[in-house]
Amino acid sequence: MAFIDRQSLIGQSWRETSRLAAVMAVVLSGLCLLVYATLANALRPTRAVHAGLERLAAGDLSARLPDFDLAELSTVGKVFNQLAGGLETTLAERNALTRQLIAVQDEERRHLARELHDEFGQCLAAISAVAACAGQTAQLECPALAPECQSIARTAAHMMDVLRGALLRLRPPDVEELGLAASLKSLVAGWNARCGGRTHFSIELAGEFDTLGRDFAISLFRIAQEAITNAAKHAQASRVALSLRVQESIEADQTAHVELAVEDNGKAGAGLAATSGLGLLGMRERIAALGGCLSMETSRLGGLFLRAQIPVPPDVTRRGETRDAA
């Protein structure tokens, strides 16, 4: 009988212990959930800090942190906002200075083009006229000098062709009068004529460019000019394709942008090796001054794929239109 009572007591003790353990488990689970909820609520502002840091790392200098209840996080937020504001101001000042330098550079190019045209152009024309006159005289009085006169005329003609190419690079067609699309088509046609079939240049235009501002259109032309020149000089490609598209904004709070791309089937390594050249440096400066970004990678053709995305000034209105030309 005593043995039975001891077994009953042991069983009852285990049952009580099990119930107590279950109650303790429920209480501990509740405490864990309460602690977790408390910590999650306390650390919730760190998510905003993390999101702000990611935006800042991605180049969005307009990122700002809200005010936090916790004093330490509030101090972090104030320092973050001051840093982001300082970087935004510095970048805006740098872009403004770059735009001024580019404007001075373009004006210097136009001045140099006028000097070359007025001085060297006139001198070469005079040399060609004198060589032709001397050649005619040599045919009558001293035939042995005729080949030398013809050689002088050929050299002057070659120098004139080189001068025309330099003038075209220094002073492009009047984009304001011809329009950006016509100027780019003329640029591509000039490269096709210059390469004599060794490299085929094509162009694809999508969007309405006539309403773009003069300075913005000239900058786009200069960027395309530098990109094509880089491909022609370094890629050793048989095909170079230029595309320029106006991407309309989908939402009202988004800014429309222009996408400019140049793709070739040449030596990607040679093109990438030229990224530190003055041409690519000038492109980067122009694109950065316009608030855009430039990327370079190996193209699907095995060459270099260069793409620039530039926001369109907000005061510009466009109408969608697609044009293709080869």
More confident residue, 320 or 1: 1
pLDDT of residue 72: 73
pLDDT of residue 1: 47
Q: Is residue 135's pLDDT more than 70?
A: yes
CA–CA dist 165, 167 (Å, integer) = 5
Indicate the domain borders of the chain.
12-43, 73-171, 177-326
pLDDT of residue 315: 59
pLDDT of residue 299: 75
Average the pLDDT over each of 183-197, 208-222, 241-255 and give the range with the smallest value.
241-255
| Mean per-residue pLDDT, 45-53 | 78
CA–CA dist 160, 263 (Å, integer) = 31
pLDDT of residue 173: 61
Closest CA to 263 of 299, 297, 234, 236: 299
Pairing of strands 239-247, 200-206: parallel
Closest CA to 306 of 246, 245, 257, 264: 264
108 three-state secondary structure: helix
CA–CA dist 246, 262 (Å, integer) = 15
What is the CA angle 292-184-316, rounded to 5? Answer: 50
Average pLDDT along the chain: 77
Cβ atoms < 10 Å from Cβ of 122: 10
Contact (CB, 8 A) for 231 and 271: yes
pLDDT of residue 172: 65
pLDDT of residue 317: 46
pLDDT of residue 40: 65
| Mean per-residue pLDDT, 51-57 | 80
Contact (CB, 8 A) for 110 and 171: yes
| Long-range contact pairs involving 80-88 (C-beta distance under 8 Å, separation at least 24) | 80/49, 80/52, 80/53, 80/56, 84/52, 84/56, 87/56, 87/61, 88/61, 88/62
Helices H / strands E in the chain, number of each: 9, 6
Average the pLDDT over each of 40-54, 144-158, 177-191 and give the range with the smallest value.
40-54
Contacts of 41 (CB under 8 A, 6+ apart): none
DSSP per-residue letters across 161-198: HHHHHHHHHHS---HHHH-HHHHHHHHHHHHHHHHTTS
For tokens 């030309």, name the residue.
Answer: 325
**So what CATH class is 177-326?**
alpha beta
CA–CA dist 105, 98 (Å, integer) = 10
Q: Is residue 2's pLDDT more than 60?
A: no
pLDDT of residue 176: 67
What's the pLDDT band for 319 if we cut at 50, 70, 90?
Answer: very low
What's the pLDDT band for 273 if we cut at 50, 70, 90?
Answer: very low
State both tokens at 203.
Answer: 């162009």
6 three-state secondary structure: helix
| Mean per-residue pLDDT, 230-248 | 81
For a pLDDT cut of 70, what percent of the chain falls above it?
A: 84
Contacts of 37 (CB under 8 A, 6+ apart): none
| Mean per-residue pLDDT, 127-147 | 84
Q: Is residue 259's pLDDT more than 60?
A: yes
Can you give the pTM of this predicted structure? 0.60
| Mean per-residue pLDDT, 145-163 | 85
Closest CA to 312 of 263, 261, 245: 245
